[in-house]
């Protein structure tokens, strides 16, 4: 039969679980480094200073630069895993492109340190602000598009999983808008608003990768499909 596949070959695409481990471990390490930097650079306030200030030239700035690159890598791994499920939906493909944009801009932040609040913004600081704005906008919009573009079961994850992803994506978009409000008000906790936003978006990325991995888990093999298509096996009568 021309459409036959080899015995024992898994029908779902391979590698989704490996990519999920890359994403989940990457998110955990990213958060752990952020927490560590809060102790290594106590001069920066969790409430007032942006996360990017950890990368401002000074002691341990290189650690934040590595974290930016890690955010890029884990986001690209998530995009690769999600592509297997979302590539057939137009909205979702736009969301995937925005996820890649978030990843690339996150990586580029490592090479353009920001200027601290209250200091003149120039040179690399302006580039950093531009890249951060693009990255945040991409992931806030992209997460919603990808959540709404997931196919229904059985081709996609179950309804409850899609609802959770959409709820987290909407919460991230609200946090994105709250950052803009905080930036316009003096003494507002814009640093906290940014950390909430980043936490929600990283949570969405991890949950999306886990959802895809569970959906693509190879529970049925091609051999079983062939046996089911052939019907029940007939056996002759037993002899002595």
Asked which of 62-66, 72-76, 132-136, 178-182 is least confident by mean pLDDT, the reply is 178-182
What is the model's pTM?
0.82
Q: What is the mean pLDDT of the chain?
A: 83
Distance CA 62, CA 71 (A): 14
Contact criterion met (CB below 8 Å) for 105 and 138: yes
**pLDDT for the residue 119:** 75
- Among 68, 67, 16, 10, which Cα is nearest to 208's? 16
CA 33 vs. chain centroid, Å, equals 17
**pLDDT for the residue 139:** 97
Q: Is residue 9 very low, low, confident or very high in pLDDT (cuts 50, 70, 90)?
A: very low
Q: Where are the beta strands (DSSP E) in the chain?
A: none
Asked which of 54-58, 141-145, 198-202, 205-209 is least confident by mean pLDDT, the reply is 54-58
Distance CA 18, CA 128 (A): 32
Maximum Cα interatomic distance, the chain, rounded to a whole number of Å: 96
- Among 182, 50, 48, 41, which Cα is nearest to 113's? 50
- Reported as a single tens digit per residue, the pLDDT across 119-154 is 777 888 999 999 999 999 999 999 999 999 888 877
Distance CA 7, CA 10 (A): 9
Mean predicted confidence (pLDDT) in 204-212 = 93
- Reported as a single tens digit per residue, the pLDDT across 78-128 is 999 998 788 788 888 999 999 999 999 999 999 999 988 767 778 889 999
**pLDDT for the residue 8:** 37
Is residue 59 scored above 60 in pLDDT? Answer: yes
**pLDDT for the residue 14:** 54
Q: Is residue 186 very low, low, confident or very high in pLDDT (cuts 50, 70, 90)?
A: low
Q: What structural domains and CATH numbers belong to the chain?
A: 16-216 (1.20.1070)
Query: Could you tell me the CA-to-CA distances from 51 to 17, 101, 107, 195 in Å, in that order?
Result: 30, 19, 14, 7
- Reported as a single tens digit per residue, the pLDDT across 13-25 is 557 788 999 999 9
Distance CA 44, CA 41 (A): 6
**pLDDT for the residue 213:** 80
Q: Is 214 exposed, middle or buried (0-12, 13-18, 19+ CB in 10 A)?
A: middle
């Amino acid at each position: 039969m021309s459409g036959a596949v080899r015995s024992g070959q898994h029908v779902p695409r391979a590698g989704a679980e490996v990519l999920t481990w890359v994403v989940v471990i990457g998110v955990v390490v990213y958060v752990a480094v952020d927490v560590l930097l809060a102790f290594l650079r106590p001069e920066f306030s969790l409430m007032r200073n942006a996360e990017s200030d950890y990368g401002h030239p000074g002691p341990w700035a290189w650690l934040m630069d590595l974290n930016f690159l890690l955010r890029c890598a884990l986001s690209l791994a998530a995009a690769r895993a999600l592509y297997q499920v979302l590539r057939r939906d137009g909205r979702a493909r736009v969301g995937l492109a925005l996820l890649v944009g978030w990843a690339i801009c996150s990586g580029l932040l490592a090479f353009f340190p920001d200027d601290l609040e209250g200091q003149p913004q120039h040179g690399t600081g302006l580039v950093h602000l531009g890249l951060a704005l693009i990255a945040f906008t991409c992931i806030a919009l992209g997460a919603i598009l990808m959540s709404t573009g997931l196919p229904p079961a059985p081709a996609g994850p179950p309804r409850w999983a899609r609802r959770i992803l959409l709820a987290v994506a909407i919460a991230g978009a609200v946090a994105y808008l709250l950052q803009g409000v905080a930036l316009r008000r003096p003494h507002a906790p814009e640093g906290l608003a940014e950390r909430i936003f980043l936490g929600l978006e990283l949570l969405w990325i991890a949950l999306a990768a886990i959802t895809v991995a569970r959906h693509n888990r190879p529970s049925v093999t091609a051999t079983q499909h062939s046996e089911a298509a052939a019907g029940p096996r007939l056996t002759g009568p037993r002899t002595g």
